[in-house]
Amino acid sequence: MNTLRRQRRMVVTLLLGVAVLVTLSQHSYSQFGIGLGDDDGFSVDIFQAGKTGMSLVEARRSFTLKHEHYLGRAVAANILSKYTVYKDPAANRYVTLLGQTIAAHSDMPQTFGGYLFILLDSDEVNAFAAPGGIIFITRGMLRACENEDQLAVVLAHEIAHVQGRHGIELIKDSRWKKFGANLGLLIVAGVDGGNLAPLVDVFGDMVKDIANEIMTKGYGKKLEKQADTDALTILMRVGYEPHESITLMQNMQERFVKGKKDFAKTHPKPKDRIKTIGKALKGEPEASEVPAVRVSRFDAAMSQARAQ
Amino acid sequence: MMPRTVTHLWITMIAIGLTASVFAKKQADKDISKDAPPTMNVQVNDAAVRAAPSFLAEVASTLGYGDPVGVLEKTEGWMKVQTHEPQAAGWMHASALTKTKIRLDAGETDVNVQASQEELTAGGRGFNQEVEDKFREENEELEAAYKLLDRLVKDPAGQVSRAEMIQFMHDGTLTDKPGGGQ
């Protein structure tokens, strides 16, 4: 009788314990699991990250569009500090109309701060995309284009880097470790608490990583190839002639000056890019001529900008 | 003998009651999620809610960073959403939305966002205006470039209205094929 009662008491205690645990666990998850996540619903427990360091993949994926926006502004400021902006209202307005139209048809029509297209007064044949959508095109690049469809190719390629968030890929692994750890500490410290300086340092390091790479080496073979094929998809959505990509590459090959700091250094060889584009265009309608209106309005807007 | 049995009875009943309430809550949560559309949050500034799933469609309203919406329907690249203020339905591009609850910076507290206290405390830490300001203080050589950038961002010549985009596409005999942001 005594043993039976003890057993019963044990069962009751166990039941009660389980009930309490279930109730508690439900609350603790929703209240303390502060996560940073992205659109796949992926989330990182930031306290865990603060203690153990976020995995590189976690830290990378926890990067919001807002984080990217501030990083992109700093990268853009770096580019602006090394180049002169080309002031030409007609050319600027035309590139803005063209660029915003293409961006609106991309897979990321809206970024945190919006797209912006800036012309640079430089003879280099070059174009850059800072994270978040600030895009630069040199006068040298404008000269390499023969019509609107070819300029659309250049802009769609840069927009493809933005929509693919390729800038983030240029950040060194060591920065992500620091970012995860310092962000964790700041979140634990709460609003206005904690030491901001280490995070500002990581910010500066990330900016250097991206700015140096895109100005001297580009996004690397794999991402450049990705941008070339993604650009074709975007161009065809808007109705541009995708085969103009190939004509543009051929023109650029002729314009390349060996050892010069430009597209030749920051992009794969035009010969290889033509191959990639040709493969991607298999099965698409044959090349057709660019409508006269897209040659004439390009010429009109670019008359000053393309002059030597 | 008797009091002890009564105590046991009470404890058993409490245990059963607690377990039942937990299951009832779970069931209730399930029922709510079945009826209410799944919530997503705006992850860009000034996100347009449009009359149709196209970037050339009219803008019905504009939402701010962190605003929640209910997702009613999905098509390629677009989501039909229910907005809370104003109470209306419209289309947003999927890339402007995230499942993650967006946390606001201190001082950006938006009464429309029902964020818990914990979330507001963590709010906005990371790369934000505060970090940019400190970075600019430490990198004076970039200050002129930052000022120039701010001027360019604010210049209306850098933006294109819906009507201007439609005109530009029409004049250039550009087509509008499905997919992406259109």
Name the band, by pLDDT with cuts 50, 70 and 90, for residue B143: very high
Shared domain check, B93 and B10:
no
CA–CA gap between residue A145 and residue A70 (Å, rounded): 31
Q: Specify the residue for token string 């161009």.
A: A235
pLDDT digits (tens, 9 = 90+) for A210-267: 999 999 888 988 999 999 999 999 999 999 999 999 999 988 887 766 556 567 677 7
Note whether B9 and B83 are same-domain residues: no
B64 shares a domain with B7: no
- In a domain? residue B181: no
* Average pLDDT for A141-152: 96
| Mean of the per-residue pLDDT values of chain B | 79
A65 interaction partners in chain B (CB closer than 8 Å): 43-44
Q: B100 and B128 share a domain?
A: yes
Average pLDDT over residues B42-62: 91
Total domain count, chain B: 2
Q: Taking CB atoms and an 8 Å limit, are B168 and A108 in contact across chains? A: no
Q: Tally the domains of chain A.
A: 1
- One domain, residues B133 and B81: yes
Least confident window among A48-62, B96-110, B122-136: A48-62
In a domain, A27, yes or no: no
Alpha carbon B19 to its chain centroid, in Å, reads 35
Q: Are residues B134 and B82 in the same domain?
A: yes
**B31 and B65 share one domain:** no
- Answer for the pair A297, B172: CB distance below 8 angstroms, yes or no: yes
Residue numbers of the domain that contains A249: 65-168+212-302
Say yes or no to pLDDT of B79 above 60. yes
For residues B132 and B160, state if they share a domain. Answer: yes
Rounded (10°) CA dihedral B154, B93, A160, B173: -80
What is the least distance, in Å, from the CA of B67 to any CA of chain A?
Answer: 13
Which of A101, A112, A150 is the best mutation test for B, with the most CBs of B within 10 A? A101
Q: Which of A71-85, A168-182, A196-210, B20-34 has the highest mean pLDDT?
A: A71-85
Which residues of chain A lie closer than 8 angstroms to B168, CB-CB?
97-98, 101
- pLDDT (average), residues A83-105: 97
Q: What is the mean pLDDT of chain A?
A: 82
pLDDT value, residue B37: 82
Widest CA span of chain B, in angstroms? 96
- Is the domain of B55 the same as that of B9? no
Q: Residues A107-116: pLDDT tens digits?
A: 999 999 999 9
ipTM exceeding cut-off 0.90 for this assembly: no
Q: Domain for residue A150, yes or no?
A: yes
Q: Which residues pair with B81 in a beta bridge?
A: B71, B90
Q: Is the pLDDT of residue B152 over 70?
A: yes
With respect to residue B167, please indicate whether it lies within any of the assigned structural domains. yes
DSSP code of residue B39: E
Residues B73 and B29 in one domain: no
Are residues A238 and B118, on separate chains, in Cβ contact within 8 Å?
no
B21 with B69, same domain: the answer is no
Q: Is residue A176 part of a domain?
A: no
CATH number for the domain spanning B162: value is 2.30.30.40
Alpha helices (runs of H) in chain B, residue ranges in sequence order: 2-35, 117-122, 129-138, 143-154, 162-171
User: How close B18 gets to chain A, by Cα (Å)?
Assistant: 6
Residues B23 and B103 in one domain: no
Does residue A250 lie within any of the structural domains? yes
Decide if B164 touches A, using CB distance below 8 A.
yes
Chain B residues close to A64, C-beta within 8 Å: 43, 98, 100, 102, 126
Contact assessment for residue A135 and residue A129, using Cβ atoms and an 8 Å cutoff: yes
Q: Which residues 136-155 in chain B show a CB within 8 A of chain A? A: 138-139, 141-142, 144-146, 148-149, 152-153
Residue A15 lies in a domain: no
Domain that holds residue B4: 1-36
Answer whether A191 sits within 8 Å of B142, measured CB to CB: no
